Amino acid sequence: MGDPTVDPVTGHISPFMNSGDPLTNSGWLDSYCGDVDFMQGSGTFSMAPLDTQRVIYAVIIGHDTDRLSSIVDLRRNTHFVRSSFLTEFAVKVTANAETIYTSDTQTELIINSSVSSDLGISAVQAELYNYNDSLIQILDLYDDGMHFDGAANDNVFGNIWQTQPIDEPLYLNIKLTDGNLTDHHFNHAADKILLSNKIEITSFRIVDDNINNNLKMNPGENVRLNFGFANNYTFDFERINVFIKTNDPFVQIEPKLIYFENVYSTARIDLNYDSNIDSTFLAMDISPAITDTHTIQFDLIVNDNQYREWNNKVSLQIEPFDYVPNEIIPTHIAGKSDASFCVLVIDPSALIGHSYTITVSDSINEDREKGFNLIDQTMGNTILFNHPVPDKFAYNMPITDGFKIIKAVLPEGGLQDVFYENIEGGNPTGFMGIGFGGKYFNGGIVLGGVPIQDFVKIELEFTNRIDSSGVVGNPAGQGAFRYETTTSPTGFFPCPFNVWKIIHGEREGRLNACFQEVAFFKNINDTWDPDASSHGGMETLYIMSTDYDESGQLYQNKSIDVKETFYKIYLRLESESSVVDAGDKMIFDWEYPATNEDVFSFIPTKVKQENIDKPTSFALYQNYPNPFNPTTTIRFSVDKAALVRLKIYNIMGQEVIELFNKETNPGNYTIRWDGKSKVGQPVSSGIYFAKLISIGQIQTIKLLLIR
């Protein structure tokens, strides 16, 4: 099995690789913090003929509220499994130790141990050791209902030890004597027991919040906290670590360990907040679904590198917004990019009724990063010049005239995705697996020769059913030029599709299309009709950059010019059973780059509640946030009483989950999706579609999940 493992820090043989303590940053630690897979060698051993040896391999899991606490849980579970294995799992023990600081001169330690034994139970003892392995105290545990052990005869044994404060950390062993008077030892049943608390939390406060900067915890905010503490011990600490955790389901804490080195006796430490320095604050997300006046309970955990740990209970109150912030999407009035901005009205009393514009800066620094300018159009002055885009929570954005810019999307441009949108026809998806750059390649796409700044989003909308027999019925779409070679068309024929140019989410007319047939693989006919055979895709489709010419004269006697080609596409049905239904779409999602030609305009106003309560249209609004992880909010409006359904689909047109299905009165509705499927399983990262469906009406938006 190889040589035994030697701890490089102590030089001793170790039963575990990387056996140090990441909680205290001491001992043998992995130089790279990440997932590590290895097989532990047990050292050399010899076997005579016919000898047998048993090798045990166990997978042990520790799972607590955060990664660091999970390590403590993993160690405890490891000790329990090893001890239980020695009795063939006939004896199993768990334990808990809780410290109560009653005064400066007295501490109480309550010990509970749950015991299961097929061999009977004669006695249970708690043994407390310091980390130099010196025995400090032995305590008999009882199951009589009178020693902090719950009900009598419930196999929970307990007792309490009253002692003066002890500054050194302890660990707990449980000794069980079975009915045969055989002793069983369960070592480290509880660790890092501390019988003194002289680390004083002097402050715990909100130092920043991302929505309205009012230093309060409002629903839906990202909040930053910091703290201060005092070392009231008579000795110094080489290192002090601080982190926070909570079991509150409405709070998601950013895992973070903040540490301080050389904390001297009687020292007072205050964490000075700097928004640009990650180590000066603790951060958390507050769910928008949390109720006003909700109180959040936290554990502020402080520990050192000598197995001491102090758990301090703190709490903060959720407070309602003075004014619920209102989002405004500025209107794109110049330029043709897919850039966008989002403005949040925070303080209506500070609004001054001016008109504002936002322009894009091509380069704001030596790295040529894009930024933006905010201009008060009414006064003609620039408020923000060459400003960086908002960070994840827009902490880097100032509040201006009662509002602030919270989101900016300034794309570099390029083909974002190609996907097939299948209608609810009950048939297997037709042209499945279309992709770009080798991502999906049952079909294939080649970019044409049009300059990048002229590309647009394309919607290939099918007007006819297409199955393995070809196009069903007379082609009901636009005409296309047919080529047998690329030199000259042989006709202009109706096709089973329309090619739409999409600008800012709206159809802006159709584009010309050409298709080329290869006689070697199939018979020449007057219809573009790729099939499911291995060579069906040889019927090539070209999407041109020119506006659609219904007369069919534009390409007469003219060869296919790559400089006028957006896409050259090879398509085939996924299988013999696949079907293209009339209404299916193939989307070429091109993102146009942001440039200094882009201009956005808005006038921030307080939203009137009566306008919110009386929607005038059936509308599905873009989800927020997007991209998202793990949850996102979807809003929609219904203008008349009807059955309304809201469904999520994946990129292959398969239904992931139905979020809403009921008879609905006119109004505005908000639904949250937690990124899970109909069976409750988290879905993978990727593009999804939310589809709002009512009688004669369908609205669709695209969602991006990034895990």
Domain ranges of the chain: 67-193, 199-317, 326-413+596-602, 415-591, 609-705
Q: Looking at residue 687, what is its pLDDT?
A: 84
The residues near 31 (Cβ < 8 Å, ≥ 6 apart) are: none
Check residue 530 and report its DSSP letter. -
Low-confidence ranges of the chain (pLDDT < 50): 433-443, 534-536, 608-613
What is the C-alpha to C-alpha distance for residues 391 and 230, in angstroms, rounded to an integer?
34
What is the C-alpha to C-alpha distance for residues 123 and 140, in angstroms, rounded to an integer?
8
Instruction: Extract the tokens encoding 326.
Output: 């209102």
Homologous superfamily of 199-317 = Immunoglobulins (2.60.40.10)
Q: Looking at residue 517, what is its pLDDT?
A: 77
The identity of residue 328, as a single letter, is: I
> 244 near 298, Cβ under 8 Å?
yes
Q: Looking at residue 685, what is its pLDDT?
A: 82
The identity of residue 206, as a single letter, is: I
Q: Looking at residue 33, what is its pLDDT?
A: 56
What is the C-alpha to C-alpha distance for residues 299 and 245, in angstroms, rounded to an integer?
5
Beta bridge partners of 91: 117
Q: Looking at residue 608, what is its pLDDT?
A: 43
Q: Looking at residue 503, what is its pLDDT?
A: 81
Compute the residue count for the chain.
707
Taking alpha carbons only, the member of 48, 83, 103 closest to residue 189 is 83
Q: How far is CA 322 from CA 55, 292, 325, 346, 575, in A?
A: 65, 11, 9, 9, 59
What is the C-alpha to C-alpha distance for residues 493 and 664, in angstroms, rounded to an integer?
46
Fold (topology level) of 609-705 = Immunoglobulin-like (2.60.40)
CB atoms within 10 A of CB 188: 19
What is the C-alpha to C-alpha distance for residues 116 and 109, in angstroms, rounded to an integer?
23
Whole-model pTM: value is 0.63
Check residue 250 and report its DSSP letter. T
Taking alpha carbons only, the member of 491, 494, 460, 490 closest to residue 474 is 494
> 62 near 76, Cβ under 8 Å?
yes
Homologous superfamily of 67-193 = Immunoglobulins (2.60.40.10)
What is the C-alpha to C-alpha distance for residues 424 and 415, in angstroms, rounded to an integer?
27
What is the C-alpha to C-alpha distance for residues 99 and 93, in angstroms, rounded to an integer?
20
Taking alpha carbons only, the member of 598, 564, 475, 592 closest to residue 526 is 475
Burial of 380 (0-12, 13-18, 19+ CB in 10 A): exposed
Domains 67-193 and 609-705 share a fold: yes
